[in-house]
Homo-oligomer: A and B are copies of this chain.
Amino acid sequence: MAAKRPSNPLALAVLTLLHERPMHPYEISTTLKERRKEESIKLNYGSLYSVVESLQKRGLIEAQETTREGKRPERTVYTITDTGRTTMIEWLGELLGTPAKEYPQFEAALSLMPALPVDNVIRLLEQRLERLRAEYEYGSGLMRETAKMGLPRLFAIEHEYELALRAAEIEFVQNLLAELRSGTFDGVDMWRRMYELRAAGKSHEEIESTLADEFKEVHAWLTETNADDGG
């Protein structure tokens, strides 16, 4: 059975726009761009048209009329249905009211970090920090500008959120870097030792057992199949 609604937030954007007034897909896309919503909601034509089709199939929107000017492609104007309105309110409510599990790429990268040598990672994090700062500057510059132009914060609040996240990431990376550099980060010694052994041409097994020896309690944790889940 088809799910009650699509999962792509672009579909929610479509619903909110059609809630304002009927539009055709292309107008939806230009409106989203005008309002800079495509910076917060991934927009591309392929997805837009398939999302519109999927909304229609589920009865959340309806084709109102199909017009054509000259020999241009047809424009199909869509309206939101009552179910569509309800769904939009529900969905947006959920997104605002309930934190969703997300998988940021940097989180994935951090979780795999030990696959690169420490000094390498330090260099990369320095690079990241630089870029994060540049992005932060750029973003806050944009915000000041739009504020000066008289756009109420209401219509750009999502950018403030983005900046807040960036700021938090900057702080995090700064702290991490400091600890990696100073060597106070818990685990760097083991990490360095591992690459030392690898450089010395030891086999995976030799490295494993040497580390197991030199860092007993850690190794115990790493090799036990099931950590106690509590409860």
Contact = CB atoms under 8 A, between A and B. Distances in A.
Number of copies: 2
Contacts of A135: 99
Name which of A42, A95, A172 has the most chain B CB atoms within 10 A of its CB. A95
A188 interface: yes
Interface stretch (A49-57, A62-70, A113-121): A113-121
A118 to B, nearest CB: 10
A86 interface: no
A112 to B, nearest CB: 5
Contact of A128 (B98, B167, B221): B98
B128 A99 contact: yes
A199 interface: no
Contacts of A34: 225-227
Contacts of A128: 96-99
A110 B40 contact: yes
A227 B225 CA distance: 58
Contacts of A76: none
A190 B152 contact: yes
A168 B158 contact: no
Given A40-B110, A40-B111, A108-B158, 15 more contacts: A13-B108, A13-B112, A37-B111, A42-B103, A88-B115, A92-B113, A95-B109, A99-B135, A100-B105, A100-B106, A106-B161, A111-B158, A114-B155, A152-B218, A161-B172
The 3 A-B residue pairs whose C-beta atoms are closest, nearest first, are: A154-B187, A152-B187, A168-B168
Interface of A: 9, 12-13, 16, 19-21, 34-35, 37, 40-42, 88-89, 92-93, 95-100, 102-116, 120-121, 123-125, 127-128, 131-132, 135, 145, 149-155, 157-158, 160-162, 164-169, 171-172, 176, 185-188, 190-191, 204, 217-218, 220-222, 225-227, 230
